[in-house]
Amino acid sequence: MQNVANLTKTQLDALREVGNIGSGNAASALAQFLNRKIDMAVPNATILDFKAIPELVGGPDKVVMGVFLRVMGEISGRFLLLIPEKTAIKLLRTLIPGCQLENPFKMNELESSCMREVGNILAGAFLNALSILTQTPMLNSLPSMTFDMAGAILDTVIADMTAVSDKVLMIETSFIESEEDLRIHIFMLPSPVSLERLLQKIGVA
């Protein structure tokens, strides 16, 4: 089984390109959904401790929206979106005419459903690109959504993965909408077995 701590620079570069393709597809889907131009930050593939992920969005106490789902099939793992509070509000006001939401903790069912759909569209687009690239069918669960501190969300979403390894391969990028500076952090977290399979599929095992 491939150990994430021992990935070579060539393997990380190849995984970064996987992230680039998947994130580019997701950015295009989001742009169509919002009917706006979306720019994408250069994806990064890196190895880090699970506990370090919240620092990427401002620390474990930073309140964010988490949209997460399971990836199933020959390549499996977790797919996670972390959306800062201000971005979540801006997205909802863009998608729902007349929305005046100021506190995401008080979202109604329509607003919650809308944010789950954003996660579903982004994850579906990312995984579809990855499935075509690797010629491997992938399925995703229905998205779950929560609004909490980043540290608490991570504890809920991927705590069971730490039983296998205390480190994770992260393919991460963020989307930026020029007018509103919308930032969405997108993570693909493959399981260790799936990481080995993914490396084989892209020719850098």
Mean pLDDT in each 10-residue stretch from start to end of the chain (205 residues)? 70 83 86 83 74 80 86 86 83 82 81 85 87 88 86 75 60 72 78 84 85
For the 4-200 domain, the top CATH level (class) is: alpha beta
Q: Quick one: pLDDT at residue 196?
A: 85
Tokens of 199: 């490396």
pLDDT at res. 115: 84
Look at residue 167 in the predicted model and tell me its pLDDT.
63
pLDDT at position 179? 64
pLDDT at 2: 54
pLDDT at residue 5 in the model: 62
Q: Which amino acid is at 8?
A: T
Buried (b) or exposed (e) across 62-92, using 16+ Cβ within 10 A?
A: bbbbbbbbebeeebbbbbbbbbbbebbbbbb
pLDDT for 146: 85
Q: How far is CA 196 from CA 139, 177, 183, 203, in A?
A: 18, 34, 30, 11
- Residue 176's CB is within 10 A of a number of other CB atoms, namely 15
Q: Which pLDDT does position 155 carry in this prediction?
A: 79
| The dihedral formed by the CA atoms of 65, 195, 47 and 157, expressed in degrees to the nearest 10 | 30
> Domain coordinates of the chain in residue numbers?
4-200
This prediction's pTM: 0.81
Distances (CA, A) of 148 to 156, 159, 205: 10, 16, 38
Structure confidence by residue, pLDDT tens digits, 3-35: 566 778 888 888 888 888 888 888 888 888 888
